[in-house]
Amino acid sequence: MNRVKPVSVTGMGCLCAAGLNLKSCMDFLFAGKRHPAPPRGFCSDQEILYPVFEILDDFFNPDLFNEPHVLRTGQLALTAALEAVINAGVGRKRLKQQQVGVCIGTNVAGSVQNKQIQNGSLSENFPYILPVDRFKVSDPAFHIAREFELSGPFQTIVNACSAGGDAIGIGASWIRSGLCDMVIAGGTDALYPITYRGFISLMNCDDGPCKPFDAHRKGLNLGEGAAIMILESDTCRKKRGKAPEAFILGYGSAADAWHFTAPARDGKGLCMAIEEALNMAGLSASDIAFINAHGTGTLDNDRIESQVFSSLFPNIPFLSTKGYVGHTLGAAGAIEAVFSIEYLKQGRIPSSVGFTNPDSELSACPVQKITEIFGKTALSDTLAFGGNNSVLVIGMEGD
Amino acid sequence: MPVIIRGIGVVGGFGSGINALMQALQTGKVSPKPMIIDSVNGSIETGGFPADLSPLTEFIPLKALRRIDHYTQMALLGCYLALKDADMIQSRPCPMGIIVATGYGSTCNRFDFVDPLSVNDDICYSPTKFSNSVHNAAAAHISVFLKEYGPNLSVNHFDMSIPSAFLTAFQWLEEKRLDAVMVGGVDEYSKVMGYYGHFMKSPLLTGEGSAFFLLTRCNDNSLGYGCIRDIKMGNLKNGNINFPQNAIAVLNTDGYGISDQRYEKYIPENVQVASYVDLYGNLPVGMGFDIAIAALGLKEKKMYASSGNIFHYFAPSKIIGTEKQLDFQEICCLKLSTTDQFGMVTLSPTSSSR
Amino acid sequence: MLNTELKEKIKKIIISELNLFDIDPLDIGDDDPLFGDKFGLDSIDAVELVFQVKHHFGVEIKDMNEGRPALQSVNTLTAYITKRLST
């Protein structure tokens, strides 16, 4: 694809184990803290309790919402969306009047919550919740559209670990095509026992705090959270006098077409996605100030990313934030895109926590301390279960 | 350059392939099959529309399917049939995007009817079963089998998944991101719906299947079934859906009760309506079959007689009750969600100019 | 359980749980490499086997450093399970 028009980001919201709003997340990251711990929100009979990055505070205030009866994934999405809407300075009335779409990424769209939902009475004819009723309490895009009474298109993307990034990329295309005046785009995922045990059974988890790119890395730690961006057309934001926070300059995605769980060893899909995103942004690799890597802490993922970064972006600093917040699955791409905007604003990136020992097999290493960055453009990538690779190019300057 | 439907692959209770769907349309009837549902209240036998996947071995050897579950196999068969229909199995525009829509997702029956008192629920956590339970599993397997490196998307928004998926496919082609997109929907037979329908004596039985479409941008009027002219999604609470005035309406009156009664309010006076839900049953991606039937109608230049439960909601004069010749008419497939949302996909003949 | 019985059970588990429907237990030699070309198994099959070993025998393989040598063949797996069950 040729160069496309940048899409303005006019508001952001985020919550995860690092904080209940974007500012507190940033303070936490730059303080270099992290608190992985065994799950407390649910019981697990695992012999080893693998650490997770859980939101322990009571983050959801139902009084702030017209439609608060949603499950945890929806609560996270609504909370982040409300912060983003307030941050964008756009009221509920304007949201109703404009053509506003919703595009949200999530891991299993709440369907794994079914197991909890259906533990109802066994003596009735219908102890099981109808699928439509399940959907009504578990689909985050529906929750946001319903809460803010939106009239535009809507989509729930279930692209596993790249869903959040894909949602932002696709939401941006809705603005560029004139389909929407605004798009509420992002990702959300809550921690659930089924996901927890499923990833453990895949032997993908570290039984200690994860160590992205480290020589002694053993796997990921799961996390939970949500991040939302308000994407807005120039016409719409100029009419209400809102300056952009940042721009989505490019988006690329490509499949490895290799294996339904393991990433392609040559990083082909990631390279294709990077090329597409840079072409859309009209940029080259040397224009990138830093990369927010997927950096899960698994042997394969980190090896492939390191290989691709050293080849395509030599000497460009990169980090993983999963050492701070865990792997938030469908929320990851969105949380990391929002973080990347904040890093660009501050002109610095936090250390890639968990990395202390360089791996001789990896040709590139992440930053080990808070690092000043020079430049106005960043790249954020996510590699999904199933082989999808999603890349966003984000910048502080649009046309 | 218009977005054309070049190939269609459908799998359902009517059989597999566009010819099987055409035969079902011609007879106006598909016989349901017995479905046994085990529940904590004992076994029940009810009717349904299961899909037969034996034709999949024409494209993929049985051995290669050992880890592929029923849900993904339906999606694979739909894709291969669409490619075969377009004569593009061996060679096609590259890269090709893949978009899979689903209402129930890949966990349709995985957690239903599991005895919550059981302590031995390890089966949920088998790595293979867990991997296949992630909702993008079907799209991932499709990309691996077809060796397709293009963008890969999975959408799960219950009964709005199909219009949502088509919207993205259309956008990808319109913005020239790609020259071809395989887009479609897949849903398994939902045991909960089958169980519910049995006790509620629902007139419409539960179905399963997949409907996939190979879309390309193309100026050649002789190719394909028809154009995708427009896709709209929105909220019914905001008023009129602006149904295209001169189109024929294909309505997904899938028997989720209250929502079917609302269709009459949104269809203009002069518009004729049809429904074909009895040929494939109740499933969230059923609108995919409607789009296939509409595309077939454009190609054949005729609409087949309705066979859905539309007769309760519209005057007989409005319903396409017998075969009707078409003359450059558009066909608009409409789905009103049970959650006050709507999705419309409008198709036009290939000889229309844009 | 006798050694031969255990081997037989392991072979049946491999066939049924990895869905190798075209293979008979007699086709699996006790020393055949499980992850060579003969059976077409890959990394996800390896973690699946680890899961099934825990499910059927209650023996947990903690990581693939431990798993890799144990899963080489039916013989190595039998020896590993036997050793773990006796401790």
Residues A166 and A30 in one domain: yes
Domain that holds residue A329: 249-395
> Does the pLDDT at position C56 exceed 50?
yes
B202: left (phi over 0), alpha (psi -120 to 50) or beta: beta
Do A78 and A104 fall within a single domain? yes
Reported as a pLDDT band with limits 50, 70 and 90, residue A119 is: very low
pLDDT score recorded for residue B134:
85
* Residues A256, A112 share a domain: no
Residues A65 and A196 in one domain: yes
Token pair 């499923």 is found at A198
CA A75 to chain centre: 16
Four-residue CA torsion sign, C30, C31, C37, C41:
positive
Residue A14 has pLDDT above 60, yes or no: yes
Nearest CA in chain B to C22: B63
Same domain, A382 and A314: yes
* Model pLDDT, residue A139: 93
Residues A231, A94 share a domain: yes
Q: Give the per-residue pLDDT at B7.
A: 97
Q: Does A43 touch chain B (CB under 8 A)?
A: no
Task: Say if the Cβ atoms of B125 and A135 lie within 8 Å.
Answer: no
Q: How confident is the model at residue A362 (pLDDT cuts 50, 70, 90)?
A: very high
Are B352 and B328 in contact, with CB atoms under 8 Å apart?
yes
Residue A165 lies inside a defined structural domain of this protein: yes
The domain that holds A186 is classified in CATH as 3.40.47.10
Q: Is the pLDDT of residue A118 over 50?
A: no
- For residue C49, the chain A residues in CB contact (below 8 A) are none
pLDDT tens by residue, chain B, 354 residues: 889 999 999 999 999 999 999 999 999 999 999 999 887 677 889 999 999 999 999 999 999 999 999 999 999 999 999 999 999 999 999 899 999 999 998 877 766 554 444 434 555 678 988 888 888 999 999 999 999 999 999 999 999 999 999 999 999 999 999 999 999 999 999 988 898 888 888 888 999 999 999 999 887 767 899 999 999 999 998 878 999 988 999 999 987 656 688 899 999 989 999 999 999 999 999 999 999 999 999 999 999 999 877 777 888 889 999 999 998 889 999 999 988 899 999 999 986 433
Global confidence as pTM: 0.96
Q: What is the mean pLDDT of residues C23-36?
A: 93
Residue A134 lies in a domain: yes
Indicate yes or no: CB of A202 within 8 angstroms of CB of C47: yes
pLDDT at A95: 96
Both tokens of A292, joined, read 């927010």
Cα B218–Cα B221–Cα B226 angle in degrees, nearest 5: 80
Is residue A182 very low, low, confident or very high in pLDDT (cuts 50, 70, 90)? very high
Question: Given A239, A261, A296, which residue is the final one in a domain?
Answer: A239
Angle between helices B161-174 and B287-300 (to 10 degrees): 60
pLDDT at A32 > cutoff 90: yes
Q: Is residue A132 part of a domain?
A: yes
CB distance B126–C51 less than 8 Å? yes
Q: What integer is the mean pLDDT of A50-70?
A: 96
Does one domain contain both A111 and A168?
Answer: yes
Q: What is the pLDDT of residue A120?
A: 45
**Cα-only R_g, chain B:** 19
Last residue of a domain, which of A216, A239, A262?
A239
Longest dimension (CA), chain A: 65
Q: Average pLDDT for residues A365-391, to the nearest whole number?
A: 96
The pLDDT confidence band at residue A47, using thresholds 50, 70 and 90, is low
Number of domains within chain A: 2
Domain assignment of residue A75, yes or no: yes
Predicted pLDDT at B64: 93
Amino acid B203: pLDDT:
81
**Chain A residues close to C35, C-beta within 8 Å:** none
Proportion of chain A above pLDDT 90, given as a percent: 84
- The answer on A222 and A119 residing in a single domain is yes
A142 and A182 part of one domain: yes
User: Which of A159-168, B198-207, B246-255, C63-72 is most confident?
Assistant: A159-168
Structural contact between residues A50 and A196, judged by C-beta atoms closer than 8 angstroms: yes
Does any domain span residue A259?
Answer: yes
Task: Return the ∠ at Cα B227 (arms to B323 and B144), rounded to 5°.
Answer: 110
User: Which residues of chain C have a CB within 8 Å of the CB of A261?
Assistant: 43-44
For the segment A175-185, the average pLDDT, to the nearest whole number, is 97
Residue A354 lies in a domain: yes
**A244 is a domain residue:** no
> For residue A310, is it within any domain?
yes
Helical H segments across chain B, by residue range: 18-27, 70-85, 127-133, 137-146, 161-174, 191-199, 258-261, 263-266, 287-300
In chain A, which residues have their Cβ closer than 8 Å to the Cβ of C43?
Answer: 259, 261-262
- Yes or no: say if A188 and A330 are a contact pair by the CB < 8 Å rule: yes
User: Taking residues A352-373, what's their average pLDDT?
Assistant: 97
DSSP state of B152: E
The pLDDT value recorded for residue A117 is 47
Q: Which two tokens stand for residue A368?
A: 């080990």
Q: Is A271 on the interface with B (CB under 8 A)?
A: no
ipTM score? 0.96
**What pLDDT is stored for residue A132 in this prediction?**
85
Q: With an 8 Å Cβ cutoff, is C37 touching chain B?
A: no
* In a shared domain, residues A268 and A287: yes
pLDDT at residue B218, rounded to an integer = 81
**What mean pLDDT is predicted for residues C14-39?**
92
Contact A277, A250 (CB under 8 A): yes
A201 in contact with C, Cβ within 8 Å? yes
Asked whether residue A207 falls in the same domain as residue A300, the answer is: no
Find the mean pLDDT for residues A215-226.
97
CB contact under 8 A, A260 and C44: yes
Residue of B nearest to A196 (CA): B125
Predicted local confidence at residue B30, as pLDDT: 96
Output the pLDDT for position B112. Answer: 56
Concatenating the DSSP letter of every residue in B159-212 gives GGHHHHHHHHHHHHHHTTS-SEEEEEEEEPPPHHHHHHHHHTT-SS-EE-EEEE
Q: What DSSP character marks residue B247? A: P
- End-of-domain residue from the set A239, A273, A301: A239
For residues A233 and A157, membership in a common domain is answered with: yes
